[in-house]
């Protein structure tokens, strides 16, 4: 290559303002990001996953206007409540003033005090005991080696077992659980000693069903009438881990659970609680030849099969299944306990509650309530005068009361109140004079035939009125978080911010190109502003599109004329999207300025947030204010402040604002110092 | 005061500039007035050359001292100063993921040029530096020589009045060095001030009109290149041939009027560096008298290397 003959030419045009030159950096960042397949890919995938469904919901669901509920969800009363899906370990005491709901296990080395309510799906373990002034609702097992004392109420579907004492002012009296099985055995032995010549099957001239050696009862046996002296009366609770064979009658004022094999030939009065998971696995079925008188509760955790009759006015509840060989007569009897009262009594005593599944081939007539946490399948005529509540499903097929098929996911109401926590689907008629409310979904196909046209029209009208009463559409009522508080959007935003910010500073470090910027009329502030705005515009392609497009779609398809409210919410939504956009970038840029490897920076940004979330989730159990360490929670709280919503107790608006500003300002300050040192300090 | 204070109006001046990095004193009360034209900034490694350039650019904060660039103090108005400066750093600084068109036009934009202007100017400059054929290749794939040209291109895209070139020929082969020096000369012809830092004295000697020698952060010597290379104009190179005894007699005859600086025996002749006052006809008369042939007689100029070596041998 020879010497280049081209001469140097001066350039004399006027140059632009210094203050706007950072925009050139922003523009370059934006254009570079748009060339990045990773960035574009995540934006597109994110939009597909987070925009389509809310957008369809917005367009397809009738609504009057854009409301705050649609943006940030239904306002929840979070005051003093704590809900967790993980396990909970406390080394000290626990004082509950509000409610505590745990899906996991609560392990306590200390005491529980307070007037609040504790509910658990998995139970509680305590070595030192519990003092409950409020309510203790245990749906799992409570292992109690200490003492349980207090004046509150204990209820639920779980067990209390252990070596401790149970005392207090509630229904039960102090019982040493270890001795329960021995007590039962002793009763049985005493009975045999007192009547050496008479079998349990022949007592006082009455015939009870024979019991095989394995404890089962042949099907078809008539109901037993055990002699009074064989009655086992307990004022406390009764539980056993072993098998139990009862030939006589059991009367229990407390609770009764059996975790082993159970064969009943006598009748049971009082509260009975079956936990027959093991029995089902080992023996296949529970045979119940006698009658079970249920004046309290009958809880079924396992499978209940047999030809016995369950009668009474109490509850039948639990998490087990009731199915199989039950005849229509049996079913009628089951339900008939609810029909005992002529009054339209909605008290709990006239209720059927099933946590498992219940299949009924016959008709159902129920004057009381029906609660379903499992599934309820009815193929006959169903007339329900009471309430239907729960989170399970109800499937109903009939040609008389219902035209076609009604499929109820969660809740269904006729003349009472229906609380829909799940969804109510169907193509039949929904009859009744009650309300439908709740947070679930109500939709279906209601096309009537000619005969029922008029009636169906009325129902449709009524249904819409019911929704209107609750001032929310059924679709949005199920979206408790709102389109702005979509957790998936936060995850994609974080992912996108990690990728966008990762190489913004780190590549300049690795290329040593700071000197290119700072040998020009670019200050550290210009440099950071340029990078920040470029990243924000790129990130905004995602963070703005999702909420703003949904909000605009809702406004565009609203049926009402109150556009002023809609536009106020739209403005708040834009502000929320702006906060989302700028929220992660300072931190991302700061991390990027710590390393010359973009991959390290990207992982560092994502993991930093992840670690903060984990730390927050761990320590929030001890103090709610640790939620402020969770960047996602801060964003969530900010939305709530923006939309004038209540924050959780112990957390104030000034705290959120302070942390938010700290989260923005401190990374920017560190970034400034870092860049200044790298660019100007040497 | 410094020796160059009464020369052309200086564009760059520093007075008592002190820069310290921890315990290392990079510039020690450095004072200089730099005139227009191509100015060589010489010094051994770690002499403070790059530190001086970065200090003038505002990339390093001095602990004390004053400085002016085109009568503007960089410490108070760095943006104005930087608008008039182009800087070609010594080390790698280019953004590998860009091609030169993107990089140079980007640098033009952040120097205040409109987008279209910067693109047009970028193509002109890339043609000028000789990267026209390779302008759309990623810089990461460039050779050292091409990267040096790209660095020069980004430094001049906004047509600054003052250029700081820090080791512009670093890592270049002889042809690349020639090309770079040619580019520097061409830019110098446009009336700009180029401060070229280098430790390759031969290159500076080729292009610079003024030289500054710096060591341990202090000014050692400065001045027009030609003056440094022949400081007193009484130095001559004399080459003679003849019998050994005749040469001895000749040297003896002139020793009262001439100071012999150096004496080099070349094949069949003797090369002398001498200093003599006005009038030198006696040399020729004495040569004729002793039968000596004078093969060459003329001014004896030093190379910059000589100047450099002499400077440091003299305590610099």
Q: Which residue of B has its CA nearest to A25?
A: B110
Distances (CA, A) of A19 to A228, A675, B110: 98, 19, 10
Rounded Cα–Cα distance for residues A549 and A466 (Å): 29
Give the model's pLDDT for residue A643.
86
- Whether residues B113 and A15 touch (CB distance < 8 A) is answered with yes
The answer to pTM > 0.80 is no
Q: Of the candidates A131, A151, A178, which is a domain's last residue? A: A178
Q: Say how far residue A310 (Cα) sits from the centre of its chain.
A: 33
User: Do residues A65 and A105 both lie within one domain?
Assistant: no
**A666 and A520 fall within a common domain:** yes
Chain B neighbors of A529, CB-CB under 8 A: none
Q: If you count residue pairs, one on A and one on B, with CB atoms under 8 Å apart, how many are there?
A: 127
Looking at the domain assignment, is residue A418 inside a domain?
yes
Residues A145 and A56 in one domain: no
Which chain A positions have a beta carbon within 8 Å of B114's beta carbon?
13, 16
Q: Which residue has the higher pLDDT, A4 or B40?
A: B40
CB A201 within 8 A of CB A247: yes
pLDDT of residue A459 exceeding 70: no
Is B187 in contact with A9 (Cβ distance < 8 A)?
A: no
Query: How would residue A624 be classed by pLDDT, with cut points 50, 70 and 90?
Result: confident
Angle at B173 between CA B172 and CA B175, to 5 degrees: 110
Calculate how close chain A gets to B243, using CA atoms only, in Å.
49
**Minimal Cα–Cα distance from B224 to chain A, Å?**
24
Residue range A488-506, pLDDT digits in tens: 888 899 999 999 999 999 9
Q: What is the pLDDT of residue B102?
A: 94
**Domain extent at residue A106:** 82-178
Last-in-domain residue among A178, A195, A222: A178
- ipTM value of the model? 0.81
Residues A395 and A466 in one domain: yes
CA distance readout (Å), B182 to A378, B86, B175, B204: 96, 18, 10, 12
- Structural domain includes residue A404: yes
Q: Do A4 and B128 touch (CB under 8 A)?
A: yes
Q: Are residues A369 and A490 in the same domain?
A: no
Paired residues of B86 in beta bridges: B163
Q: Tell whether A426 is covered by a domain.
A: yes
- B interface test, pick of A1, A5, A8 with most B CB neighbours within 10 Å: A8
User: Which residues are paired to A424 by β-bridges?
Assistant: A408, A442
Q: What is the pLDDT of residue A464?
A: 32
> Residue A293: inside a domain, yes or no?
no
pLDDT above 90 as % of chain A? 15
Name the minimum distance, in Å, from the CA of A545 to any CA of chain B: 29
Residues A44 and A105 in one domain: no
Residue A106: band (very low, low, confident or very high) from pLDDT cuts 50, 70, 90: low
Shared domain for A450 and A555, answered yes or no, is no
Question: What average pLDDT values come out for chain B (316 residues) when binned by 10 residues?
Answer: 42 90 89 90 87 88 90 86 90 90 94 91 92 88 92 93 90 88 90 88 84 89 81 79 89 86 84 80 88 86 74 58
User: Do A121 and A106 contact (CB within 8 A), yes or no?
Assistant: no
A504 interaction partners in chain B (CB closer than 8 Å): none
Tokens of A17: 């303002």
Mutate to test the interface with A, among B112, B116, B181 (most CBs of A within 10 A): B112
Whether residue A29 sits in one domain with residue A142: no
In a domain, residue A301? The reply is no
Whether residue A518 sits in one domain with residue A421: no
What residues in B contact A506, CB-CB < 8 Å? none
Write out the residues of chain A at the interface with chain B, using a CB-CB cutoff of 8 A: 1, 3-4, 6-13, 15-18, 21, 24-25, 27-28, 32, 507-508, 511-523, 679-682
Whether A249 is in a domain gets the answer no
Q: Are residues A111 and A150 in the same domain?
A: yes
Do A23 and A124 fall within a single domain?
Answer: no
* A297 is a domain residue: no
How close, in Å, is residue B93 to chain A by CA atoms? Answer: 4
Q: Which of A162, A178, A194 is the last residue of a domain?
A: A178
Note whether A514 and A394 are same-domain residues.
no
Please state the domain count of chain A. 3
Mean pLDDT of A453-467: 36
On the CB side of A181, CA atoms within 13 Å amount to 11
Tokens 């005849």 locate to A327
A520: pLDDT strictly greater than 50: yes
* Closest C-alpha to A236, from A250, A255, A222, A249: A255
What does the pLDDT look like over B173-213, one tens digit per residue?
888 888 899 999 999 888 889 999 987 888 888 888 898 98
A329, part of any domain: no
* Beta-sheet pairing, A404-410 with A423-426: antiparallel
């Amino acid at each position: 290559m020879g010497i280049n003959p081209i001469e140097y030419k001066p350039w004399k045009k006027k140059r632009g303002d210094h203050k706007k030159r950072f925009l050139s950096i922003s523009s370059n960042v934006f254009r570079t990001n748009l060339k990045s397949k990773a960035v574009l890919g995540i934006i597109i995938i994110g939009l597909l996953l987070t925009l389509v469904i809310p957008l369809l919901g917005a367009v397809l669901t009738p609504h009057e206007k854009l409301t705050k509920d649609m943006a940030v969800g239904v306002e929840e009363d979070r005051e003093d409540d704590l809900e967790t899906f993980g396990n909970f370990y406390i080394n000290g005491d626990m004082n509950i003033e509000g409610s505590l709901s745990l899906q996991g296990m609560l392990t306590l080395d200390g005491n529980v005090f307070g007037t609040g309510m504790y509910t658990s799906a998995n139970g509680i373990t305590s070595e030192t005991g519990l003092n409950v002034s409020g309510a203790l609702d245990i749906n799992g097992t409570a292992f109690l080696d200490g003492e349980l004392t207090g004046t509150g109420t204990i209820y639920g579907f779980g067990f209390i077992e252990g070596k401790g004492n149970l005392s207090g002012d509630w229904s039960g009296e102090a019982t040493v659980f270890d001795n329960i099985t021995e007590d039962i055995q002793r009763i049985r032995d005493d009975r045999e000693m007192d009547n050496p010549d008479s079998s349990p099957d022949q007592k006082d001239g009455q015939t009870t069903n024979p019991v095989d050696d394995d404890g089962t009862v042949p099907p078809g046996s008539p109901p037993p009438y055990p002699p009074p002296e064989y009655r086992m009366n307990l004022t406390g609770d009764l539980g056993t881990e072993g098998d139990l064979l009862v030939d006589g009658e059991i009367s229990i004022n407390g609770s009764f659970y059996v975790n082993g094999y159970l064969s009943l030939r006598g009748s049971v009065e009082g509260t009975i609680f079956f936990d027959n998971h093991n029995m089902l696995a080992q023996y296949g079925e529970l045979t119940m030849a006698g009658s079970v008188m249920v004046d309290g509760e009958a809880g079924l955790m396992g499978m209940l099969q047999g030809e016995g009759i369950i009668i009474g006015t109490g509850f039948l509840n639990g998490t087990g299944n009731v199915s199989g060989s039950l005849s229509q007569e049996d079913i009628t009897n089951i339900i008939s306990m609810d029909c005992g009262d002529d009054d339209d009594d909605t008290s709990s005593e006239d209720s059927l509650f099933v946590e498992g599944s219940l299949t009924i081939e016959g008709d159902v007539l129920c004057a009381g309530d029906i609660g379903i946490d499992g599934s309820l399948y009815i193929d006959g005529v169903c007339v329900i005068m009471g309430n239907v509540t729960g989170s399970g499903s109800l499937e109903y097929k009939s040609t008389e009361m219902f035209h076609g098929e009604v499929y109820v996911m969660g809740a269904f109401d006729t003349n009472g109140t229906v609380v829909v926590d799940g969804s109510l689907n169907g193509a039949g008629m929904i009859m009744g004079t009650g309300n439908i409310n709740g947070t679930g979904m109500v939709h279906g196909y209601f096309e009537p035939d000619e005969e029922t046209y008029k009636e169906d029209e009325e129902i449709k009208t009524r249904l819409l009125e019911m929704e209107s009463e609750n001032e929310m559409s059924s679709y949005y009522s199920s979206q408790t978080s709102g389109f702005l508080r979509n957790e998936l959007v936060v995850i994609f935003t974080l992912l996108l911010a990690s990728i966008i910010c990762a190489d913004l500073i780190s590549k300049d470090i690795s290329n040593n190109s700071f000197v290119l910027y700072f040998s020009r009329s670019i200050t550290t502030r210009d440099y950071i502003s340029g990078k920040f705005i470029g990243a924000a515009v790129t990130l905004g392609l995602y963070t703005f599109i999702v909420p703003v497009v949904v909000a605009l779609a809702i406004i565009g398809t609203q049926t009402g004329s109150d556009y002023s409210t809609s536009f106020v919410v739209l403005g708040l939504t834009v502000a929320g999207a702006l906060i989302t956009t700028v929220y992660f970038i300072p931190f991302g840029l700061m991390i990027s300025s710590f390393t010359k490897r973009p991959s390290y920076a990207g992982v560092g940004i994502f993991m930093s947030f992840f670690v903060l979330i984990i730390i927050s989730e761990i320590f929030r159990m001890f103090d709610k204010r640790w939620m402020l360490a969770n960047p996602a929670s801060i964003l969530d709280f900010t939305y709530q402040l923006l939309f004038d919503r209540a924050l959780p107790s112990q957390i104030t608006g000034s705290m959120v604002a302070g942390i938010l500003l700290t989260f923005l300002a401190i990374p920017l300050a560190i970034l400034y110092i870092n860049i200044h040192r790298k660019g100007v300090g040497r | 005061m410094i020796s160059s204070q009464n020369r052309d109006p200086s564009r760059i001046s520093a007075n008592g500039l002190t820069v310290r990095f921890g315990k290392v004193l990079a510039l020690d009360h450095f004072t200089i007035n730099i005139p227009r034209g191509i100015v060589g900034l010489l010094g051994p490694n770690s002499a403070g050359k790059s530190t001086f350039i970065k200090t003038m650019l505002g990339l390093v904060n001095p602990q004390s001292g004053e400085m002016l660039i085109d009568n503007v103090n960089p410490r108070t108005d760095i943006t104005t100063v930087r608008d008039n400066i182009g800087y070609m750093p010594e080390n790698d600084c280019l953004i590998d993921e860009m091609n030169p068109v993107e990089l140079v036009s980007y640098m033009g934009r952040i120097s205040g040029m409109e987008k279209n202007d910067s693109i047009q100017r970028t193509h002109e400059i890339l043609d000028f530096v000789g990267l026209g054929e390779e302008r759309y290749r990623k810089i990461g794939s460039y050779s050292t020589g091409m990267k040096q040209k790209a660095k020069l291109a980004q430094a001049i895209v906004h047509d600054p009045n003052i250029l700081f070139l820090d080791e512009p020929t670093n890592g270049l082969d002889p042809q690349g060095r020639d090309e770079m020096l040619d580019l520097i000369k061409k830019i110098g012809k446009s009336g700009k001030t180029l401060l070229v830092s280098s430790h390759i004295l031969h290159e500076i000697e080729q292009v610079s009109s003024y030289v500054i020698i710096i060591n341990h952060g202090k000014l050692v010597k400065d001045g027009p290149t030609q003056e440094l290379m022949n400081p007193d104009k009484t130095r001559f190179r004399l080459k003679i041939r003849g019998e050994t005894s005749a040469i001895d007699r000749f040297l003896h005859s002139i020793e009262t009027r001439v100071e012999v600086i150096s004496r080099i025996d070349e094949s069949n002749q003797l090369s002398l560096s001498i200093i003599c006052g006005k009038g030198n006809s006696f040399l020729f008369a004495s040569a004729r008298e002793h039968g000596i042939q004078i093969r060459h007689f003329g001014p004896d100029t030093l190379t910059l290397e000589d100047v450099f070596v002499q400077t440091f041998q003299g305590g610099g």
